Amino acid sequence: MPLIHEYFLVTLQIFQVPVNLFSFSLKFKGFPLEKAKKHLGYIQSIDEKDYASFIEEKRTDILLYHLNNNRFYKDFAKNTNIDDWNSVPILTKADLQTPLNNRLSEGFSTKNIYTNKTSGSSGTPLIFAKDKFCHAITWANFINKYYWHNIDVNSSKQGRFYGIPLNKSGYYKERFKDFLGNRFRFSVFDLSDTALEKVLNKFRRIPFDYLNGYTSAIVQFAKFLKEKNIVLNKVCPSLKACIVTAEILFDNDKVLLENTLGVPIINEYGCAEVGLIAFNNVQKEWVINTEDLFIEILDSNNKPLPFGEEGKVVVTSLYNKAHPFIRYELGDFGAISENSTPKKLILEKLVGRTNDFAILPSGKKAAGLTFYYITKTVIEDNANVKEFVIQQLKPDTFKIIYSSSKELSKMKIKDIEVSIEKYLEIGLKIVFERRTVLKRTKAGKLKQFTSLIN
């Protein structure tokens, strides 16, 4: 990989391309980042008194677009009254369990869209798409919010606590993306003291500007630092922020992070399908993204709740023309602050998406989101596997409970077993159980990973 990096840099210099590799890579792939940044600036310039009307107009525009241009959505929302937003049906991952090509709008194909897979953290995996402008404005928003904390995605060095595929093609692809994003990735698959000592040594040698990654993994690192009585920015003085994402940050964990890292802790809330949902500003308010999303909090009957009351989080992507995400139910529960305005919504509370740790026979600890990468092997675009959950029954025994239209093949089961050996360790027992319907929590969620031994 170093040779690839050097070759790429030399090529950029020959053609006099600015070494803002992340932004350059987006533009190179055809995502209109500058156009998206300009449009984002226009949205942010809209006066507060006009903002509610602007959002109402945008949500109606995207609704009409998909009713007119998307056969899947036209059939799904056939009883919608255009003049009554509450008549628009709630869209779930289960509703989207059909091949991607069936869900694309007219004029879009795999040749002119961005595609990705969800983690399945809610128990329901999903392959989805965005048009190129939508993906560009998603990233324009991330770039803009990071600037709140003097973080430049092109030049600020990131220490990244995420998983990584272990197959060669996936591994090198992610490493190359890390290179473009000016980041160094630490594995969350091994959070033992030995592994975390190596992480600490990296911070001693490399001038990182910020941390970014799964909450549970960074909290585990913080506990390691506390035991050693080390404050991270004392050994890495360049460090100025920590962004936690993908899992809930509890108040006591936030205090732990502040004390052991010695930098501001920024809480990021988002999902792959729609991008950034909420982000801490410098005043520590959890500001909701109202620029390219419309966020609702609904009760169990799908009726809007007033500010301050807790309900399910429902999101509309205002710019995705390739694929409908209209009144899309995430599976999370939260509340919007009573101090909110149409332009500045503040997320007061978020409930959901916590992950246990897997504690293995060797004593090794692995973040629950390790199973993000393992369960990728059961995602199929023919929509066979509908939902799945994983339970740790004993230190060496895991059960994968899934619902599907047909049994997993012996080859697919073998693929999963091989993946688990790669990501965790050899000698684990895997039990497969197929069910018609999976049991949900009282909140209506499926917890992807549960340890029954902790």
What is the tens place of the pLDDT at every residue in 294-344?
A: 999 999 899 999 999 989 999 999 999 999 999 999 888 899 999 999 999
Q: Is the pLDDT of residue 265 over 90?
A: yes
* SS3 labels along the chain: CHHHHHHHHHHHHHCCCCCCHHHHHHHHCCCCHHHHHHHHHHHHHCCHHHHHHHHHHHHHHHHHHHHHHCHHHHHHCCCCCCCCHHHCCCECCHHHCCCHHHCCCCCCCCCCEEEEECCCCCCCCCEEEEEHHHHHHHHHHHHHHHHCCCCCCCCCCEEEECCCCCCHHHHHHHHHHHHHCCEEEECCCCCCHHHHHHHHHHHHHCCCCEEEEEHHHHHHHHHHHHHCCCCHHHHCCCCCEEEEECCCCCHHHHHHHHHHHCCCEEEEEEECCCEEEEEECCCCCEEECCCCEEEEEECCCCCECCCCCCEEEEEEECCCCCCCCCCEEEEEEEEECCCCCCCCCEEEEEECCCCCEEECCCCCEEECCHHHHHHHHHCCCCCCEEEEEEEEEECCEEEEEEEECCCCCHHHHHHHHHHHHHHCCCCCEEEEEECCCCCCCCCCCCCCEEECCC
At 376 the pLDDT is: 60
Q: How confident is the model at residue 235 (pLDDT cuts 50, 70, 90)?
A: very high
At 63 the pLDDT is: 98
Q: Is the pLDDT of residue 396 over 60?
A: yes
Weakest mean pLDDT among 229-233, 235-239, 402-406: 402-406
What percentage of the chain exceeds 90 in pLDDT?
A: 59
Q: How confident is the model at residue 18 (pLDDT cuts 50, 70, 90)?
A: very low
At 342 the pLDDT is: 95
Give residues with Cβ within 8 angstroms of 162, minimum separation 6.
Answer: 185, 188, 213, 214
At 275 the pLDDT is: 96
Q: Is the pLDDT of residue 13 over 70?
A: no
At 164 the pLDDT is: 75
Q: Is the pLDDT of residue 31 over 90?
A: yes
At 378 the pLDDT is: 61
pLDDT greater at residue 190 or residue 129: 129
Weakest mean pLDDT among 26-35, 102-111, 162-171, 250-259: 162-171
Domain boundaries, the chain: 357-451
Q: Is the pLDDT of residue 7 over 60?
A: no
Segment 146-160 shows an average pLDDT of 94
Indicate the average pLDDT of the chain. 87
**What gap in Å lies between CA 129 and CA 135, rounded to an integer?**
9
Q: Is the pLDDT of residue 69 over 90?
A: yes
Strand partners, 267: 244
Segment 106-125 shows an average pLDDT of 82
At 452 the pLDDT is: 85
At 247 the pLDDT is: 78
Burial code (b: 16+ CB inside 10 Å, e: under 16) for 1-36 equals eeeeeeeeeeeeeeeeeeebbbbbbbeeeebbbeeb
pLDDT greater at residue 28 or residue 46: 46
At 5 the pLDDT is: 42
Q: Is the pLDDT of residue 450 over 60?
A: yes
CATH class of the structural domain 357-451: alpha beta
Q: Name the residue among 94, 107, 142 with its Cα closest to residue 293.
A: 142
Q: Is the pLDDT of residue 167 over 70?
A: yes
Q: Is the pLDDT of residue 180 over 70?
A: yes
Segment 14-39 shows an average pLDDT of 79
Q: Is the pLDDT of residue 85 over 50?
A: yes
**What gap in Å lies between CA 214 and CA 367, rounded to an integer?**
8
Q: How confident is the model at residue 451 (pLDDT cuts 50, 70, 90)?
A: confident
Query: Hunting for tokens 């990182």 — which residue is that?
Result: 208
pLDDT in tens, 347-381: 998 875 545 678 889 988 776 657 756 766 566 55
Question: Cα-flanking dihedrals φ and ψ of residue 31, to 5°?
Answer: -90, 120
Segment 414-426 shows an average pLDDT of 86
Asked if residues 159 and 211 have their Cβ atoms less than 8 Å apart, the reply is yes
